[in-house]
Amino acid sequence: MAAPMNNMRMSLEDLIIRLYDVQAVKFGTFKLKSGIESPVYIDLRVIVSYPEILVRVSEYLWDASQNCSNNFKSLCGVPYTALPLATCIATKHHMPMLIRRKEAKDYGTKRMIEGHYEPGERCLVVEDVVTSGSSVLETAQALKTADIDVRDAVVLLDREQGGAQMLKSEGIHLHSVCTLSKMLDVLQTSERLSGPDIERVREFIAENKFNAMSGIKRNGSGDTHCSHKKAKKVHNYADRASLCTNPVSKQLLQIMETKKSNLAVSADLTSCGEVLELVNRVGPHVCLVKTHVDILEDFTPEFTKRLTELAQKHNFLIFEDRKFADIGSTVLNQYSGGMYRISDWANITNAHSVPGEGVIQGLKQVGLSKNRACVLIAEMSSTGNLAKGDYSSATVKMAEEHSDFVIGFICQSRLTSDPSLLHMTPGVQLTEGQDSLGQNYITPTEVITNRGSDIIIVGRGITKATDPAEAARQYQEAGYRAYLAQFE
């Protein structure tokens, strides 16, 4: 353990040296999560073992918060490293604190934000280190979803890689105690670091900046998902619509262009009235409404008639998520007949590729003449699913061979550069996480900007929101902004 410190206020220079001495900041060669090799590694988790450092860091964060022009009523630390920092500030300055849950174990029943707050209350986000700004933004978005206002964030160390600009573009002002450059200066002056070490870090910072809005590193190295933008030409929706021969994909892309929306709502409610009411409210924000008619307890053909009327009123297409997975002759009957008569009203349905191309041929026999289309499930969002690697590649090939009827995929990232094929991604929420049954969530930016998909499919992020129309508006905005970021 470190030697006890006197209780006098520690200068920022001394604090930086202490952080270096306890190895909260290390220099060398470190492989980051993204695969990039970094000459500096900053991990402030260790400071919980040094209470005097913890207290000093939180005092500096508090001082920085006094520069906020907006008054805040509470604090929220970004989990986990900043939780003890926020706690120290809260107890010392009698400032109420909120905790953001990182894992929504029992999604839908558990609160994402713990603590008491008033709707519209303003909260300050507290963080240890900011690189791209995405962790601060995630916590801010979780707070905003709970109707808590966030205008400012404080951070001990800004790595100067574009985080402050990115947060600014999201309406959040970042107040930092120290920058990485300042830290380097102090460590050089105190002879902890040599000139060449400092130069390596400075070069690294300069070459690894994040773009505000898109979150894409400018040098594009390392992270495979980041490379999609550079790997192919990005077409806008209108151009892609003109390249489509299938009338359904053409119409869907035209709707996306007109409504500025790449949002599909998954209307997974169990009564017809509830679904219709939800769809009427979120209709202006979506390009597609996805249904599971077999979970409706009171289904009658009247439901599909009313849904079709809403589709005309709000200009969206209907996608029945039936996930056909049988031999051709069986799916032909399932699609055209039974009590649901899916092919009569759903513009789009989907199928697993596991039975082979017979499943497409069966569906096509019914759907083609009715101007319907199908998407294939190439990848899934659930933990441990088997749709990956060769299976996903074979699914893409199958789609390309039946491009008169198959218009795209359910997937987790872009699988082909063919601009006429649409990529639709479920497992989307404004913050990353899981539910208790293996569903995994990623954010609209991750789906559209980083992974190059086209459509975000959002279920409970909207259906369980207090105000589904407002939630849909937020997802529409986030999805469309992520689309525009590809052109920067």
Catalytic residues: 323, 326
Q: Which tokens go with 223?
A: 């992270």
What is the spatial distance between Cα 295 and Cα 288, in angstroms, rounded to a whole number? 19
C-beta of 16 vs 411, nearer to ligand S5P? 411
* Helix %, strand %, coil % of the chain (to 5): 45, 20, 35
What is the spatial distance between Cα 40 and Cα 180, in angstroms, rounded to a whole number? 10
Options 22-30, 164-172, 246-254, 456-464: segment touching ligand S5P (CB under 6 A): 456-464
Residues near 406 by Cβ (< 8 Å), separated by ≥ 6?
A: 360, 373, 374, 375, 376, 398, 399
C-beta of 186 vs 267, nearer to ligand S5P? 267
Between the CA atoms of 396, 401, 407 and 411, what dihedral angle is there, to the nearest 10 degrees?
-10
Here's the x/- map for ligand S5P, 80-109, by CB under 6 A: it reads as ------------------------------
What is the spatial distance between Cα 179 and Cα 1, in angstroms, rounded to a whole number? 27
Here's the x/- map for ligand S5P, 422-441, by CB under 6 A: it reads as ----xx-----------x--
C-beta of 153 vs 318, nearer to ligand S5P? 318
Which sign, positive or negative, has the C-alpha torsion 259, 169, 482, 81? negative
CA distances from 206 to 200, 202, 210, 341 (A): 10, 6, 10, 59
Tell me whether the omega of the peptide bond preceding residue 391 falls within 30 degrees of 0, making it cis. Answer: no
One residue of 156, 167, 187, 458 binding ligand S5P per CB under 6 A: 458
* Number of residues in contact with ligand S5P under rule CB under 6 A: 16
Secondary element (H or E) of residue 334: helix 328-336
Site membership for ligand S5P, residue 321 (CB under 6 A): yes
One residue of 376, 455, 457, 471 binding ligand S5P per CB under 6 A: 457
- Whose CB is nearest to ligand S5P? 459
C-beta of 131 vs 453, nearer to ligand S5P? 453
Here's the x/- map for ligand S5P, 248-287, by CB under 6 A: it reads as ------------------x-x-------------------
Options 79-87, 163-171, 247-255, 377-385: segment touching ligand S5P (CB under 6 A): 377-385
Site membership for ligand S5P, residue 410 (CB under 6 A): yes
Here's the x/- map for ligand S5P, 213-252, by CB under 6 A: it reads as ----------------------------------------
What is the spatial distance between Cα 210 and Cα 165, in angstroms, rounded to a whole number? 9
Are 233 and 217 in contact by the 8 Å Cβ rule? The answer is no
Residue 1 CB, nearest distance to ligand S5P (Å)? 46
Secondary element (H or E) of residue 457: strand 455-458
One residue of 381, 392, 420, 443 binding ligand S5P per CB under 6 A: 381
C-beta of 381 vs 392, nearer to ligand S5P? 381
C-beta of 170 vs 268, nearer to ligand S5P? 268
Are 276 and 337 in contact by the 8 Å Cβ rule? The answer is no
What is the spatial distance between Cα 287 and Cα 36, in angstroms, rounded to a whole number? 37
Residues that bind ligand S5P (CB under 6 A): 266, 268, 292, 321, 380-382, 410, 426-427, 439, 457-461
